[in-house]
Amino acid sequence: MSEQGAISPLDSVDRAILNLLQDDGRLPNIDVAEKVGLSPSACLRRVRRLEDAGVIAGFVMLVDQHKIGRPVDVFVEISLDSQAEAKLEEFERAVADCPEVMSCHLMAGEYDYILHLAVADMFDYERIHKQYLSRLPSVARLRSNFSIRTVYETTKHEL
């Protein structure tokens, strides 16, 4: 394994397996094996090795946020009043309690964090701001940006 924990090196069969499973995580092992030219047992061993090594972090179902009533993407830039490790940890624990937060990223640059929220509308964002965002610990400044539309998005890593 390399320093980052990845299997080194991934061979062409590993890459083919990963590409197939990224396209369809529910693809039966027998179909994956056939497509990559392995026996089902050899393919399953490879998938398990990739899971054990953390290359496959998990399997998820993607939900269409428009169809569940959360069509608006909001990106919130957050600056904290301190970058002390304890303050960062406290903020990170608290932000995980907001169910509308889709992702939170520690940033280098002008602000400390950026949050991606999926909300119903402006009124829903106002509720979230009052109930969660304004109560996050150590926040010095919030700046909200509303997406007009998503141009491109993927969950797939090209291998």
Q: Give the pLDDT confidence of 131-143 residue by residue, as tens digits.
A: 999 999 999 999 9
- Residue 5: per-residue pLDDT: 54
> Given 20, 39, 62, which residue is the final one in a domain?
62
State the total domains in the chain.
2
Same domain? 51 vs 79:
no
- By CB atoms closer than 10 A (0-12, 13-18, 19+), residue 24 is exposed
Whether residue 100 is contained in a domain is answered as yes
Residue 55: give the domain boundaries.
1-62
The span from the CA of 64 to the CA of 91, in Å, is 28
Q: Is the pLDDT of residue 1 over 80?
A: no
Same domain? 92 vs 140:
yes
- 29-54 pLDDT tens trace: 999 999 999 999 999 999 999 999 99
The span from the CA of 95 to the CA of 132, in Å, is 8
User: 36 near 20, Cβ under 8 Å?
Assistant: yes
The sheet carrying 113-119 orders its strands as 101-106, 113-119, 72-80, 139-146
Read off the pLDDT of each residue in 114-129 and give the average, rounded to a whole number.
97
Read off the pLDDT of each residue in 95-116 and give the average, rounded to a whole number.
97
> Given 12, 38, 62, which residue is the final one in a domain?
62
Q: What's the CATH code of the domain at 4?
A: 1.10.10.10
- Residue 158: per-residue pLDDT: 87
Q: What's the CATH code of the domain at 119?
A: 3.30.70.920
Read off the pLDDT of each residue in 145-158 and give the average, rounded to a whole number.
94
Residue 142: which of 124, 126, 119, 153 has the closest Cα? Answer: 126
Read off the pLDDT of each residue in 9-36 and give the average, rounded to a whole number.
96
Whether residue 109 is contained in a domain is answered as yes
> Given 41, 62, 83, which residue is the final one in a domain?
62
Read off the pLDDT of each residue in 47-65 and give the average, rounded to a whole number.
95
The model carries a pTM of 0.85
Same domain? 31 vs 6:
yes
Same domain? 46 vs 21:
yes
Token pair for residue 118? 């999926």
Same domain? 103 vs 122:
yes
The span from the CA of 44 to the CA of 38, in Å, is 9
Whether residue 152 is contained in a domain is answered as no
The span from the CA of 43 to the CA of 38, in Å, is 6
Q: Mean pLDDT of all residues in the chain?
A: 94
DSSP characters over 24-45: -TT--HHHHHHHHT--HHHHHH
